Amino acid sequence: MLLYDAPMPAPNPRRVRIYLAEKGLTVPMQSLSIMAGEHKGADFVAKYPAGQLPVLELDDGRMIGETIAICRYFEAFYPEPPLFGTEPASMAEVEMWTRRVELTYGAAIRNIWIHTHPLTARVVKQQYTEFGESNRPLAHAAMMTFDAALRKTAFLAGDAFSMADIALLSTMDFGLFIGVPIPEEADALKAWHQRVSARPSASA
């Protein structure tokens, strides 16, 4: 197998790297430069038409895209330590929070990045700056919901570190990189960010 990866600050490839580090797994990787457009090169797109990273090429040639799908593939082979929950309720909670990170916060950060950031101005056909800016309050509101949850539990989906924390950490670090701060009043979220950033996997 071969995992097509991209270096920091790309948040989605980092999610898989953190996941693998938490599992203690080593997988052959090839790093592509998004800034140089390597993920849109003819050979790569012929292999993987979505032209996004990460993607996992299996030995039989199948291409598994989407971060969560890739991590679930490994989870099926290596269930310990569990990162997608252990019984129906905790599995559902991990799923719930991961989807909330992606669909609320992740979507807002993506829109801010695409439509307001000077680095994307050269690759995006048109930046709708006002629309991008309108996502800042959405990112703030999403972070406050995570803060509320983290006032009750040590990790986003409960007492155990999970894929939901990995999704939140990589999105948050990317948000910080593009200038979206953690709300000043979000004490629990800030403490969580320090805690999970101190895990060895966070350097992946």
Ligand X SMILES: N[C@@H](CCC(=O)N[C@@H](CS)C(=O)NCC(=O)O)C(=O)O
H helices of the chain, in order, are 11-23, 42-47, 67-77, 88-100, 107-116, 118-121, 129-133, 136-150, 163-177, 187-197
In the complex, least distance from residue 145 CB atom to ligand X, rounded to whole angstroms: 20
Which one among 52, 98, 135, 162 touches ligand X, defined by CB under 6 A?
52
Judged by CB under 6 A, the residue of 20, 53, 164, 202 near ligand X is 53
Q: Say how far apart CA 181 and CA 143 lie, in whole Å.
A: 10
How many residues sit in the footprint of ligand X (CB under 6 A)?
A: 13
Taken as a whole, the chain contains a residue count of: 204
Report the distance separating Cα 193 and Cα 188, nearest Å: 9
Among 4, 12, 105, 156, binds ligand X (CB under 6 A): 12
DSSP state of 29: E
Residue 8 touching ligand X (CB under 6 A): no
Does position 67 interact with ligand X (CB under 6 A)? The reply is yes
Q: Which is nearer to ligand X, 12 or 111 (CB)?
A: 12
Pick one of 8, 27, 29, 34: the residue that binds ligand X (CB under 6 A): 34
Closest CA to 31 of 42, 46, 16: 16
Contact between 171 and ligand X by CB under 6 A: the answer reads no
Cβ-based nearer residue to ligand X, 13 or 175: 13
Q: Per CB under 6 A, which region of 11-19, 20-28, 124-132, 158-166 contacts ligand X? A: 11-19
Q: Does 39 bind ligand X (CB under 6 A)?
A: yes
Min CB(109)–ligand X separation in Å: 11
Q: Are 63 and 128 in contact (CB under 8 A)?
A: no
C-alpha radius of gyration, the chain, whole number: 17
End-to-end CA distance of the chain: 19
In this complex, which beta carbon is closest to ligand X, that of residue 83 or of residue 186? 83
Binding residues (CB under 6 A) for ligand X: these are 6, 10-13, 34, 39, 51-54, 66-67
